[in-house]
Amino acid sequence: MTLKFDFIAIVTADLPASLAFYRALGVDIPAGQEDAPHAEAALPGGMTLAWDPVSTIQSFMPDFELPAPGGGRIGFACRAESPAEVDRAYAELVDRYPEAAHTAPWDAPWGQRYATVLDPDGNSIDLYAPLPSDPA
């Protein structure tokens, strides 16, 4: 059996807020999906990112409950073009979505500028870029 991983779905308590947040991250989400029972966006490279409101899932799984917000459910990462871009993106997202602030930009020991924001459902999104090489 050969499978191709090509689809990521986010179960969300607030579809319009989640779509707005991911648009702010740069995901090209077609307009007009805020009231849809399911939303999708094609990602570069052929992957699809999708959103399912809790109400949609409960329509066919009445006992479904969204797990408590917080880390560990799923994590995403967005590569920036430079360490300065990590700082800028973090600042812009936190300015627009103060509740998204999680881990301010820092230089990780594995050679990346790193920061973490939280989407409206508490999922973590890491922002990172390689640090310049030390020509020592």
Q: How many CB atoms lie within 10 A of CB 96?
A: 11
Nearest to 8 by CA among 37, 51, 45: 51
Domains of the chain and any CATH numbers: 7-60 (3.10.180.10), 75-130 (3.10.180.10)
Nearest to 51 by CA among 69, 36, 63: 36
Query: In terms of pLDDT, which residue wins out, 113 or 56?
Result: 113
Q: How far apart are the first and last CA of the chain?
A: 48
pLDDT tens for each residue of 37-70: 999 999 999 899 999 888 888 887 788 887 776 6
Question: Can you tell me the distance from the alpha carbon of 35 to that of 96, in angstroms, rounded to the nearest whole number?
Answer: 22
Mean pLDDT of 104-124: 90
- List CB contacts of 93: < 8 A, sequence separation 6 or more: 24, 25, 100, 117
Specify the pLDDT at position 72. Answer: 58
Cβ-contact 4, 44 below 8 angstroms: no
